[in-house]
Structures are given as structure tokens and as C-alpha cells.
Amino acid sequence: MGLLKAGDFFYSLRFLRLLTTPWKKTGAFKEGVIDENGKLIKKPETSSEKAVYNTFHKLVYNLKRLLNKLPLGKSTVASYAAALFLIKENTRASDIALAKILKEATGVDIYQTNLNEEIESEWFLTKDGNIQESTYTLVNDIALPSTGELLALKNSRVIVKEHAPISTIFGLSVFEATHAKTKQKIYITRGDITR
């Protein structure tokens, strides 16, 4: 993916640092904008509140709440592989760097798990490893790459044209799909879909 520009590198570090900061140590919590679980209490109004809770913070906090939603084990990490891929793509972090951050944020050592065990079959893959063209149902909420918001919700439909994986995250193949309702591009892994 090449070298990061100085601004990209700064935002990548800021993103990862904010992701691993405990809720009670964030500026948004100290300003009373979010609660101890990262839930928005009030819309930021003052300049100091807006400085600690803006679109960037909202994206990170949405992802952080997703990661904190369930006790993390390999099945939960596999369920959120597409969200972790968004972090990888937007920060250009390596799998090793993400694994370290994930361990720091959640206590899960991704390299001590086998995420591929969680998915029993590859029923939707061709012999070449491409995803089959079809309409699938999401079994997990998926964040939109453009905004990070959860608009591709569980049980909604996605449309896939046959193609090879666009990338991987922790050994899981990542595919591109189109959310049927919003027509937004999203990323999925094999554990995110069913017929």
C-alpha cells in the first residue's frame, strides 16, 4: 500500500491510540459527552465538547463499542473481521500491529486462536476461491467503509458479483459486496453471510 503521508500516519496513530484508551480516560467521558460504556449522553455543543467528540471520535467509538459488545473469543473476533479489515485499510496497519492493539484493547491474542475453525464450510466459494455471484443475508452488522456507521444490519441483504478476495485479515479472506438497501459498498468475510 506504500508509505503513509505524514497526516495519514498521524491519524492512524491517533485512531489506534483512541481505540485502546479506556472509556473513562477519554476526553469525551471527562467532558460528559459519553458514559463509562462509550454511549453518547448528549450532543456536543461547546467547542471543548466538539473537540473531544467529532466524526472521527464517533467512528472510533462505534468500532470500540462493537469490540466491547461481547466477551471476545475467536468466534467474536471472526464475526468482526470485516470491521477489523476497515481499521487495517484506513490505518494501513499490519496484521501484527492490529493483533497487538486487539490484545491490548481486549486481552485476546489473535495468534493463539484459529479463526478459520469457526467457519465450517466454504459453500459459497468457487473452485478458484472466488466468491460466487449471489444475494446473501448478513449474519452480523457490518460497518460501511465510507462512514464507519452500522447501516448494513444483521439479516439485511447484500449483492455479490463473483470475484477473488480483495485482501485478508488474520488469514480470513475479505470480499467486497453491495448492501442491497443502501447500495453502499461493504466488506464481508465468509462468516458474515448466509443464504
What pLDDT was estimated at residue 105? 65
The answer, yes or no, to whether residue 7 has pLDDT greater than 60, is: no
Residues in the chain: 195
Cα separation, 1 vs 92, in Å, equals 7
Here the cell at position 193 is 453471510
Determine the Cα–Cα distance for residues 74 and 160; give it in Å rounded to an integer: 26
Question: What is the predicted pLDDT for the residue at 135?
Answer: 93
Question: Tens of pLDDT along 38-79?
Answer: 888 999 999 999 999 998 888 888 877 766 664 444 455 556
Instruction: DSSP for 125-169, please give it.
Output: B-TTSPBPSEEEEESS-B--TTT----B-TT-EEEE--B--SEEE
Task: Name which CATH class applies to 134-194.
Answer: mainly beta
pLDDT tens, position by position, 125-148: 888 878 888 999 998 888 777 666
The CATH 2.30.30 portion of the chain extends over 134-194
Q: Structure pTM? A: 0.59
Check residue 56 and give its pLDDT: 85
